[in-house]
Amino acid sequence: MAENDQEEVELRSAEPIKMSGRPSPFLQAVRAPQDGEADWEYGRITEAQPVEGIFPVVGGYVDRAGKFHNMVHLRATSGEEEDIWSDMSLPFCVRMNEVLVRCVKRYGDITNPGEIRQAVLGSSQGTRLDMLLYLRCFSNYEDKGWIYKMDVECGSIICTMAESAPFSVDVNLYDVGRYDSPHPEQSEYEVVLPRIKVPVRWRRMTPAGDQIVEAVAAREESRKDVATWGVVVRLLDYDGKDVSVGLDDVLDKTGRVILGYGGRRSKMKPRGVEAYKLVKKMATYDRDFLREQFMDSEPSLDLEVSAKCPECGMVNRVRLDLNQSGFFFPKATSALTKRTFSSLWTVGG
């Protein structure tokens, strides 16, 4: 961490570095194409990359040499990332990861694109969400990108009966509570389940884990099991036996969760079924204990939002929903499908 000290002092304000205005005459000369249409060419270049900034994230990444990194240099999103965001056929976490991998220019000391990918995908969910919020804040800097106008459906009886239209609430993304873990450089933990007295090894939520939980939440038939899968995807060993699951153990080639894992004629791979059954049968006392461990040890964001309904005045407590089209396209009035996707953000419900 010592090497990062100077950087941290400089950048603690988390103010994005804004690059705008006209270039110096020297830069203009360098960039001017031979035919003399310098202004047009310059406009295009600056539009492609208006802002970037370096931010300290919750959690972080430990590389193979054991070095910890938690300062992230991000560049603003461009058209290519917007295309990824618009592809609603991809799960939210896949789009999030892909956009982050592209927009992270440096992660601590890591600058090699392949290693950056590994580092981003090796970071826990809270860390990636933190990067995503920063990215949103300054990618739309000119339009007060830190204010997210989120749509909320009022849950009061009056509004539900009247089928009232969703209302909009302003969420200041800089104000979202960020909780670092007590040991950010640690990603695996060993505990003993208090009821059954069995040793368990678990790891922080990984991108593969995200994807599995999101796939489970996306299907009507499996949605009820989100809490169970939220535990399954974090487990590594149970009583000394490897019970970790990967994407292939649970999802089909199209990324959908394979159903029938609870019944006799399961089509899911045995590894996935066994891990699921193990956690499903686990005593609530032990499951709650594990969930508490997850919450205490994982870097996370406080994603609860209070939103007062302008119609009936009821204060709705809702989860920050980053999957609304307005999150990355604040000005767009596009008809992108809106899907509420609260389940991903909970530690298993």
Contacting Zn ion (CB under 5 A), which of 205, 243, 309, 318? 309
Tell me if 348 sits within 8 A of 99, measured CB to CB: no
Contacting Zn ion (CB under 5 A), which of 38, 312, 319, 338? 312
Asked if residue 176 binds Zn ion (CB under 5 A), the reply is: no
- What one-letter code names the amino acid at 21? G
Q: Provide DSSP, 302-323.
A: --EEEEE-TTT--EEEEE--TT
Q: Residue 308 corresponds to which tokens in the numbers above?
A: 């007062």
Asked if residue 318 binds Zn ion (CB under 5 A), the reply is: no
Q: From start to end of the chain, where are the E strands?
A: 17-18, 51-62, 68-75, 104-107, 147-152, 167-172, 178-179, 188-192, 199-203, 235-238, 241-242, 300-301, 304-308, 315-319
| 110 vs 154 by CB, closer to Zn ion | 154
Q: Please list every residue from 198 through 257 that binds Zn ion, using CB under 5 A.
A: none
Contacting Zn ion (CB under 5 A), which of 135, 159, 245, 320? 159
Contacting Zn ion (CB under 5 A), which of 260, 311, 339, 340? 311
- What one-letter code names the amino acid at 314? M
Q: Residue 348 corresponds to which tokens in the numbers above?
A: 């298993």
| 103 vs 159 by CB, closer to Zn ion | 159
Q: Which stretch binds Zn ion (CB under 5 A): 4-12, 255-263, 305-313, 329-337?
A: 305-313
Cα–Cα nearest to 78, from 139, 7, 162, 22: 139
Q: Which stretch binds Zn ion (CB under 5 A): 81-89, 143-151, 302-310, 319-327?
A: 302-310
Asked if residue 80 binds Zn ion (CB under 5 A), the reply is: no
Contacting Zn ion (CB under 5 A), which of 28, 46, 118, 156? 156
Q: What is the binding site for Zn ion (CB under 5 A)?
A: 154, 156, 159, 309, 311-312
